[in-house]
Chains A and B, each alone.
Chain A
Amino acid sequence: MITRLLQAGIMAAWAVFFLWLVAFGQNELARLLHPRLWWLVLCGAFILALFFVVVASRLTEPHSAGPLRWQWPSFVILLVPLLYFVPMKTARFDSQTFLSRSTSIEAPFEPPVGEQDSEIVPDDAALPSQEEAEEDDASFGRIALNPQQYDGKTVEVACQTLNDQRLPDNLFICYRFRITCCAADAQPVFLLVEKGAAAAAPANDSWVKVKGPLSIRQMEGMRFGLIKEATVTPGKEPIFPFVF
């Protein structure tokens, strides 16, 4: 009876947690899972609710789970993720995560590529308009991953900041994380930002909005987007902190 009650309780706890995530905890769910997989959570809640009904309807029946004194650790283990939801609510991926999930480039920063190098003809038909790029927050990923396509255009992006000592003083990193399925596979994507000479560097990990013309910089043969003469204003953490 007690074993059955515990099993039913665990299933109920998980079903309620999943339902809560989808219905009321979307801010938290957005920091865990790609939105296209949110249906999975709802599906999981439905299956758990079914299991709960089955187990609850058999509370008084015998079971083959073994004595409770041997089984209780496995029951508590099933609840451990729910306890970790408490620190998860306030935790954020930040510049430390950025650095640990990036591969370092040891070479010194190279000067801007010449006009000839950066003269990549954009495919305007396939590109979002400048207004769309400015308005669409999700465009950060597109701009950071394909900076050549936005070369010379004015862009506006929301991102977190990182002042990297390997960069010149007038540059900082504007980063976000790109996920495919969940936060565990989050990978950093970034743009470089050239702030005005008089402007102070924003504090690490703060959310900012950056606006300015995009150009291309080169490091170790790799090209990165650089927002020059950028206007940097404080911003808020978006509901979907990840880009897709």
Chain B
Amino acid sequence: MNGDQLAPLPVYRPEAPPVRSGLTLELSWLAGLLFLAVAFLLLLLGQTPGWKHLVGSVAINFLAMVVEAMPFMLIGSLVGGLIEVFVPVAWVEGVVQRHRFGAVFVAGAMGLVFPVCECAVVPVIRRLLGKGVPFGAAIAFLLGGPIVNVLVAASTAVAYSFDWSVVALRLGCGYGIAVVIGLALSRWFTNDNALVREARPRLNTCCGHDHCGHTESRPGLPARLWHALGHASDDFFSVGFYLIIGTFIAAFVRSVATMDLFTHFLAAPWLAIVLMMAMAVVLNLCSEADAFIAASFRGLLPASAQLAFMVLGPMFDLKLLLMYFGIFTKRAIAALVAAVLGTVFVVMLAVHALVPLDF
């Protein structure tokens, strides 16, 4: 099939109810119920004087994160839907799969031409993987895209008073780590053993989604756009509730954890790095904003610890962990998380030991 030919849109073929995103249906249901119980209980406790302040703080942080992140996720879903309909599998196979090794290096820097934040990148990756983009390249884009982009470079520059060494280190470490992990994981994982069934490349032309039965065999542009919107709205439900749970947990932690809690454990540089990494995971900050938080630790923490916060945050946090369940198997998630945490830690120790930093 040539890329410039219109691919016939699929005939509807109902699929069995999906296994929910890497978790079993029962486990997903139980986790959902548990979350709802906690969320409603906290809401009720907020009516009592003793809990009012905490619940108010959680509510502000929770709403702020959701109102900021959800539009990005919707934009990501929309882009993912357009990719699903307008990017032919044959084109992906022809261009990307012939250069599997090189694709990882290119994907790690794709954020420079396609700036995405960590909330938007997940639905995009889901669709790219469905199109057959190799696992390693997808991981490199997933990890590198939210760091190696112009917006993050600009916010980092502003936060650190245009100290370009900080910008270069942040983007350089982000790119290097994304590529290394992409290459390493692609040795053990492929799209066949790393992805949940809904995210795998489809050999038939049916997308398996609800709207397939209502498209013409050779549709025009409006029908294809309509089709893309159908995919995108499905993604909203596939990824959205993970985003809500992740931001709720992050808002709770943001409300109860004090800055002093972290700064009281700064006896050694490696400990400072670990603590700032922990903070990056639990605070779930936007990659545009985290440089300003990191910069507030200047003079208190080693530069390597500030850098660890800025590099890890866009790659991995609580809400991302939950959103990964919409794409990857549990085994792949475990490997990805271990690789990200381990590599960031080792790289930051190396930076601390080898690079003279004074920010």
A residues bordering B, Cβ < 8 Å?
7, 11, 14, 18, 21, 29, 31-33, 37, 40-41, 43-44, 47-48, 50-51, 54-55, 58, 61-67, 70, 73-74, 76-78, 80-81, 83-88, 90-94, 96-97, 99-104, 180-185, 187, 222
A80 in contact with B244 (CB, 8 Å): yes
B63 in contact with A104 (CB, 8 Å): no
Query: Chain B binding site: helix, strand, loop or mixed by DSSP?
Result: helix
Find A100's partner among B18, B28, B259 (CB 8 Å cutoff): B259
Assess A58 versus B244: contact at CB under 8 Å? Given A47-B74, A97-B57. no
Assess A70 versus B29: contact at CB under 8 Å? Given A91-B60, A102-B259. yes
B55 in contact with A87 (CB, 8 Å): yes
A74 in contact with B32 (CB, 8 Å): yes
Bitwise interface map of B from 18 to 55 toward A, beta carbon under 8 Å scored 1, else 0: 10100001001100110110010001001000001101
Assess A64 versus B232: contact at CB under 8 Å? Given A33-B67, A74-B32, A182-B286. no
B64 in contact with A183 (CB, 8 Å): yes
Minimum CB–CB distance from B117 to chain A (whole Å) comes to 10
B211 in contact with A58 (CB, 8 Å): yes
Assess A78 versus B241: contact at CB under 8 Å? Given A64-B15, A64-B209. yes
A96 vs B257: C-alpha distance in the bound complex, in angstroms? 12
A91 vs B42: C-alpha distance in the bound complex, in angstroms? 14
Taking CB atoms, residues of chain B closer than 8 Å to A100 are 257-259
A73 in contact with B286 (CB, 8 Å): no
Find B74's partner among A48, A90, A182 (CB 8 Å cutoff): A48
Query: Chain A binding site: helix, strand, loop or mixed by DSSP?
Result: helix
Minimum CB–CB distance from B63 to chain A (whole Å) comes to 5
A180 in contact with B64 (CB, 8 Å): no
Minimum CB–CB distance from B134 to chain A (whole Å) comes to 26
B residues bordering A, Cβ < 8 Å?
12, 14-15, 17-18, 20, 25, 28-29, 32-33, 35-36, 39, 43, 46, 52-53, 55-68, 70-72, 74-75, 77-78, 155, 208-211, 213-214, 226, 229-230, 232-233, 236-237, 240-241, 244-245, 247-248, 250-251, 254, 257-260, 263, 283-286, 288-290, 292-293, 296, 299-300
**Assuming A73-B35, A78-B240, what are 4 further A-B pairs, CB within 8 angstroms?**
A14-B70, A54-B211, A102-B259, A185-B289
A51 vs B230: C-alpha distance in the bound complex, in angstroms? 7
Find B25's partner among A50, A66, A222 (CB 8 Å cutoff): A66
Taking CB atoms, residues of chain B closer than 8 Å to A65 are 17-18, 210, 237
User: Could you list some 18 contacts between A and B, CB below 8 A?
Assistant: A7-B237, A21-B67, A33-B68, A43-B71, A47-B78, A62-B14, A66-B18, A77-B245, A78-B244, A80-B39, A81-B62, A83-B39, A87-B52, A87-B59, A96-B53, A103-B300, A104-B260, A181-B68
Find B296's partner among A48, A70, A97, A187 (CB 8 Å cutoff): A187
A31 vs B259: C-alpha distance in the bound complex, in angstroms? 22
A91 in contact with B241 (CB, 8 Å): no
Assess A62 versus B57: contact at CB under 8 Å? Given A33-B64, A48-B74, A184-B254. no
A84 vs B155: C-alpha distance in the bound complex, in angstroms? 30
Find A84's partner among B63, B233, B293 (CB 8 Å cutoff): B63
8 closest cross-chain pairs (CB), A and B: A91-B56, A73-B32, A44-B71, A66-B17, A183-B64, A88-B59, A51-B233, A182-B64
CB nearest neighbor in B for A40:
B71
Find B58's partner among A67, A84, A96 (CB 8 Å cutoff): A84
B72 in contact with A62 (CB, 8 Å): no
A79 vs B31: C-alpha distance in the bound complex, in angstroms? 16
CB nearest neighbor in B for A97:
B57
A88 in contact with B60 (CB, 8 Å): yes
Taking CB atoms, residues of chain A closer than 8 Å to B237 are 7, 65, 74, 78
A181 in contact with B286 (CB, 8 Å): yes
Taking CB atoms, residues of chain A closer than 8 Å to B257 are 100
Most buried by A among B77, B214, B237: B237
CB nearest neighbor in A for B284:
A184
A29 vs B56: C-alpha distance in the bound complex, in angstroms? 15
A14 vs B17: C-alpha distance in the bound complex, in angstroms? 26
CB nearest neighbor in B for A90:
B56
B65 in contact with A182 (CB, 8 Å): yes
B210 in contact with A64 (CB, 8 Å): yes
Assess A92 versus B56: contact at CB under 8 Å? Given A70-B29, A81-B244, A184-B254. yes
Taking CB atoms, residues of chain B closer than 8 Å to A21 are 67
A74 in contact with B241 (CB, 8 Å): yes
Find A103's partner among B15, B46, B248, B263 (CB 8 Å cutoff): B263
Taking CB atoms, residues of chain A closer than 8 Å to B36 are 73, 76-77, 80
CB nearest neighbor in A for B251:
A184
Taking CB atoms, residues of chain B closer than 8 Å to A70 are 17, 20, 25, 28-29
Minimum CB–CB distance from A243 to chain B (whole Å) comes to 13
A7 vs B292: C-alpha distance in the bound complex, in angstroms? 38
Assess A73 versus B258: contact at CB under 8 Å? Given A54-B211, A90-B56. no
Taking CB atoms, residues of chain A closer than 8 Å to B68 are 32-33, 37, 40, 181-182, 184
Minimum CB–CB distance from A186 to chain B (whole Å) comes to 8
